Structure formats: C-alpha cells, structure tokens
Structure 1
Amino acid sequence: MQKINIHHLIDNAKFNRFHRMVLFWSALIIIFDGYDLVIYGVVLPLLMEKWNLTPLEAGTLGSYALFGMMFGALIFGTLSDKIGRKKAIIICIFLFSGFTFVTGFAETPLQFGILRFLAGLGIGGVMPNVVALMTEYSPKKIRSTLVTIMFSGYSVGGMLSAGLGIVLIPNFGWQSVFYVGLVPILLVPLIIKFLPDSVGFLVKQGRMEESVIILSKIDPTYIPQKGDDLEIGGEKIKGASVAKLFKHKRAASTIMFWIAFFCCLLMVYGLNSWLPKLMNKAGYELGSSLTFLLVLNFGAILGAVGGGWLGDKFNLKTVLISFFAVAAISLSLLGFKNSTLVLYILIAIAGATTIGTQILCYAYVAQYYPINIRSSGIGWASGIGRIGAILGPVLGGTLMSLEMPFEYNFVAFAVPGAIGALAVCFISVKHSHDKKTELEKLQLAKLQAIVAEE
C-alpha cells in the first residue's frame, strides 16, 4: 500500500502519449466550439440584408448565443464538479453541435435567436470543463503552454469558420456554414472512448481502479498496489461549492478574475461580431472583410501559444497584464487610417492580445484554484465574463447606429483592455493554489532535512 499525492505525481510527470491524447481531443472539441461561436460574425452582413436588421438589432441577435454561454458556463462549470467533467463535456457537445446544425433551418430572427441561445449553453459549458481537464493532466513545467495550445483550437475554429464562409456561402448560402456544425456529434463515440474523466472526480466517487490506471499512464514509473491511498495536495478531496471561491482569502482575487474576464470577453466578442461589418463599412468587400477575421484569429493562435510559453518561462500574471495593455493600444490604433499592410499587422496584434488574452485568462484562473473547485472557478469567471461578451455585440451595434467617427468604434473596445490590466494587477499570487503547492514542497523539504539530521 502506498500514499500517493496525485497533484505531485501529475506535476512531475514527463509529457507522454497520454498527455498528447488529452491535448488532441480537448483541442478538437475547442476547435468546433470556436467554429460554432465565430460563425455569427461570418454571416452577420448577410443576415442584416436578408432580414433588414438595424445594427442595434443585429448586435442584440448576436447576444442570444452569448446569453446561452453565460448560463452554460455557470451551470456546467459547477455541475461538472459533481457529475464529472467528461459527462458534462458530452452533454455540451450535443447541445452546441445539434442546435448549430438546426440554426441553418431558421427562417426568422426569433427562431435564429432561440436556437443560438440553446447552442450557446453548450458552447459556454464546454469551455471551463475542457480547460479544467487539460490543466489537471498537464505537467507543471509546461502547464500554461499545453492549456494555451489546446485553447488555440478556439482560434483555429474561428479561422475555419471564416474560411468556410468564403468558400461555402457564395455557392450554397449562409445556411451551409451552420450545417457543418453537426460534425462534433459524429465524433462523440470516439470522445467517450479516448477522453479520460477527471482523476480527482474518480477518486471522490471511490472509483479507485479507474484512477490508478489513469495515474499509471500519466507516470509509467508508478506501479499501482492494492489499497493505495490517493490524495491531492495533502488533503482528501472534498465537494465543490461556489462559496469556496471566496474562502481562504480568495474573495478579492475572485472578483478581479471576474472583472478581467468581463473586459476581455467584451473585446473578443465585440470584435468577432463586428470586425467584418466595420471593415465592410470602411469600403472593403465582404470577402476581404472576412479575411480580416482570419487574420484576427491567426494572430490569436500566435498570441496564445507565445503567451503560454512566456507564462511558463517567466510569470503568467505579468504576461497577462502586458497582453491587456498591448490590446488597448493596438485597438486604439486600428481606428486610424493605415496602409493595408499596417492594418493587417495591427489586426493580428489585436487578435494575439484579445483572443490570446482570453486564452491566457483561462489558463491563469485554472491554475489559481485547487482541483476540487477548479471547474467552478473557471465556470463562474467565464459565466460572469459572458456579461461582457453579451455587451460586446450590443456595444458595436450601438456605436454603428450612432454613426460616430470610425476611430471611435475601436477606441470604445480599447478601454476594457486598460481596465482588465488593472484588475489582473490586484490578483493575489500568494493565495493561489500553485503558490500553496510550492510552499507545501518547501515545508516537506525542510521536514525531511530535520529528520535526516536527527
């Protein structure tokens, strides 16, 4: 019989086939999640023309999915700590994939909005669970890198959405890009087979046989023995509740996370919904306007992966503050007249530091909370942040309706970047889960030294 600290075992494991499998399936889920979300910005100009929507009506219609995402993140983020991340992920896939497909058959704005709300439940619910699962299984040295690589699937999905929009819409109509949303449901049997559940949840459920099999795959040097005592962080795994996000001096930091997510998601969804239309208004054709959306999401991939690497090498909090600040600057500059090349560069930087920042926010909050409340922490930060996501498209529509000078549209989206940077500054590092883990290791080392001397 052995006493196994699961957290330490996962932290010190070497990246292997098991980690690659979790990364692959998690990233694939996020790719389709991102595709289903960004798709609205792709079809927005056509829907405005088809249904004679005003900019404000179009912005409100875009917020239906974001309302769904808010409730989905709150519901499934907390629920998964009770029913398991894998089960929650499967439910969410059926929601966002099935209702995205059905949206292609919508004939009125009301039908479209209701279906987008239902799809949004799954889109918002799957994010905190996949991020929590990837964080739980990532070795500490490359945790931020793996989470950001996985979450870069969101931007790949956004690029796929814009790319297929350029190819499919002229030939098959706007509905065609929604039909593609059915693909994830076809992959569910494979996801059930290959994607593992949270080892923390399995231990809490008393499913020790499954737990030790997973742990032996994470670290092949671990040889399970009958009656092994599995613990995480030196504490027995306990249930999750929202109240725990505010305990152990985490209250102020929890609120700061919520503000940071709010600001970040306002920028992200405002841009994803309105960038093609803004560029269309500035004189660019629909095809070239969608190209700007491609560049935005391509920049996001570079920003996320680069930011994750910088976070592992230096300090994730510092990197996050820097990204928020650069986002504010690049968005402000987008509103001024520039050459096409400079415009593409600024949009790529904006993508890297808005969508990329969103991904880093998920990575940071996932590392901040202990495993038994991780999904709850991510889910509530994401859920509260969805209020910003909801306001993003509405803000864009309002600005368009007011017919303000072109540069004001982008300056309005830059302000949240500065506020987000300030919020991250006030997140207390010393009360984070990773900091406590380091202190535990130091205390253990001192205890071992004392025993050795005696």
Structure 2
Amino acid sequence: MQTINANEVIDHAKLKAIHWRVILLSALIIIFDGYDLVIYGVALPKLMAEWKIDSITAGFLGSVALFGMMFGAILFGSLSDKLERYGFSRKKIIILCICLFSGFTLLCGYASDPQNFGIFRFLAGLGLGGVMPNIIALMTEYAPKKLRSTLVSLMFSGYAVGGMCSALLGMWLVPQFGWKIMFILGGIPLLLIPIIWLLLPESIDYLVRRNKTEKAADILKQINSNINYTAQTKICLDQNNQSSSQSPIKDLFADNRAMITLLFWLSVFMALVLVYA
C-alpha cells in the first residue's frame, strides 16, 4: 500500500495557485480584522459629540473590543482542536469568527446608545481575537517549510493595511456621512463569506484525521501534481501532528521552555501596551 505523508508534501512544495489563494484570502480576512479594530479611533470624535460622552466612557468603549479579543483568542484558539471531533474544522471556525466580528461591527453602526454599542463591540472583539490564531494556523499549515515565516509575515501585514485603510477612509467618509458609515462598511466581509467558503481550502490535518482521504488527496494534487493517488493509497501526517497534548499550556513550560514562554508573553504584552495605551 502506498503511503503519502501530507506534511512532507507541503513542506517541500513550490508555490502554486493554491498557496496564493490561501495567502490572499487570509490576508483579506486580516485586513478586515485590522480595519474593524481601528475604526473606533476614527469615529471617536464624532461619536463623543453625538452621544455627549466623556473621555472616561469613551476609553471604556474603546477597551471592550480588546477584552473581547482576549476572550475570543482564548476561546476559539484553544478550542479549535477540541471542537474538531464535533465537525468544527478550522475553516468553519474562521467563518464563524468572520460572522461575529463583521456582523456585530455592522450592528455598531445602528447602535442607539453607548450601552448597546459597547455590547456589540465586545461581541465583535470575540471574532476579532478568535480569527487571528486560526487563520495564522491555517496559513502555517499550508506554507512550504522554507517560506513559512515569510508567508505568515506577508499575510499578517494585512493587519496594518486594514488599519491604514480605516484611517484613510475615515478622512474622506466621516465628514460627509458621519461616524456610523465606518461601522456599516465593516459588514462587507459578510458578503464575501460564500467566496471565502468556496475558495479557502480546508485544513489538511483535519481532513486526514477525519479520514476524508479523497478531499485531502485532491488538495495535495493541487500542491504537487506528481502525486499518484489510488483507492489503496494511505495519507498520513507527521507523528507530531497525529496526537494532541492533554495539557498544551503545561507543555509551554516543559523541556526548559519556561523562560522563553514568559519572555515571549512579556514582549507581546508590552507591544500591545505601546500600541493601544
């Protein structure tokens, strides 16, 4: 029986159309993620004037999305592998997070008071935080080994692009249409969900673990056209990908990784303090 190691095929692949599809769609999602997070600062002066809120309340409303991002990253990031047994693949979780951050950002444009606005921003934050670890994981999974860091960095640069688009659009749209137009535009990803669902490939690890061999083989053929798949072909994963730890957080501190983990957490924390303080 012929055996194909899916991870080896991806690691040694050359860039093909499927790779660019994953890169562009992932970057597009991250662009809207960055846009949705930054628009509050763009809309803030008009919003404060219309609702007559003070700076403390405005600061709180700006922070609720960050709290939502924290809980969203923890919830959707850590549960993605566990939800797999119930049929929730990484792709489905990405779509769910898009619905959350885009749908509730759209509702922010129709909020009638600060209380409803704050609730919508928190719920949007769940999607904003949840989509990032999953889209990065999917991009990492499909990137050839020698280009992995480059492609993930290229994709994640969409976050800054989204923020810049928000600022530039705000300079043009807010004076003419008011602050709500910025949040209404945040609903555009909802219209793109059918395209993302159709073109974004499923997690190859998910397909192999769920014994969806034919779908996995179809994707691998797009990555390497020389693959010869038959009914007797078995597709497997690297040993490290075949089992998940019962305590992944504990593993971050095992094998002398405690100091590295703590320093990494500290660097990310301080970066966010500098950006959002």
1:60 equivalent to 2:60? Answer yes
Instruction: Give per-residue Cα distances to partners, 1:376-411, cap 9 Å, x unaligned.
Output: xxxxxxxxxxxxxxxx3xxxxxxxxxxxxxxxxxxx
Q: How does 1:358-377 map to 2 (within 5 A)?
A: none
- Residue 207 of structure 1 aligns with which residue? 212
TM-score, length-normalised on structure 2?
0.91
Percent of pairs with identical residues: 52
- What is the one-letter code of the residue matched to 2:270? C
Q: Which structure: larger Rg?
A: 1
Q: Secondary structure at the match of 1:254?
A: helix
Higher helix share: 1
Instruction: Give per-residue Cα distances to partners, 1:77-132, cap 9 Å, x unaligned.
Output: 12222322101001011101110011011122211111100111111111111111
Root-mean-square deviation (CA), in Å? 1.8
- Residue 358 of structure 1 aligns with which residue? none
1:180 equivalent to 2:172? Answer no
1:252 Cα shift?
3.6
Distance (whole Å) between structure 2 residues aligned to residue 200 and residue 248 of structure 1: 26
TM-score, length-normalised on structure 1?
0.57
Alpha-carbon contact 2:108-2:117 (below 8 Å) kept:
yes
Give the 3 Å change call, closer, same or farther, for CA 40–240 of structure 1 in structure 2: farther
1:23 equivalent to 2:23? Answer yes
- Residue 3 of structure 2 aligns with which residue? 3
- What is the one-letter code of the residue matched to 1:188? I
Distance (whole Å) between structure 2 residues aligned to residue 21 and residue 240 of structure 1: 31
- Residue 34 of structure 1 aligns with which residue? 34
Alpha-carbon contact 1:5-1:234 (below 8 Å) kept:
no
Give the 3 Å change call, closer, same or farther, for CA 202–256 of structure 1 in structure 2: farther
- What is the one-letter code of the residue matched to 1:3? T
Distance (whole Å) between structure 2 residues aligned to residue 78 and residue 120 of structure 1: 16
Q: Which runs of 5+ in 2 are unaligned?
A: none
Q: Which runs of 5+ in 1 are unaligned?
A: 271-391, 393-454
1:259 equivalent to 2:274? Answer no
- Residue 124 of structure 1 aligns with which residue? 129
- What is the one-letter code of the residue matched to 2:222? K
1:17 Cα shift?
0.6
Number of matched residues? 270
1:249 Cα shift?
4.3
Give the 3 Å change call, closer, same or farther, for CA 249–9 of structure 1 in structure 2: farther
1:240 Cα shift?
5.2
Q: Secondary structure at the match of 2:235?
A: strand
Distance (whole Å) between structure 1 residues aligned to residue 155 and residue 257 of structure 2: 27
- What is the one-letter code of the residue matched to 2:111? A
- Larger relative contact order (CA 8 Å, sep ≥ 6): 2
- Residue 402 of structure 1 aligns with which residue? none
Alpha-carbon contact 2:5-2:238 (below 8 Å) kept:
yes
- Residue number among 95, 100, 105 corresponding to 2:100 in the alignment: 95
Alpha-carbon contact 2:35-2:166 (below 8 Å) kept:
yes
1:85 equivalent to 2:93? Answer no
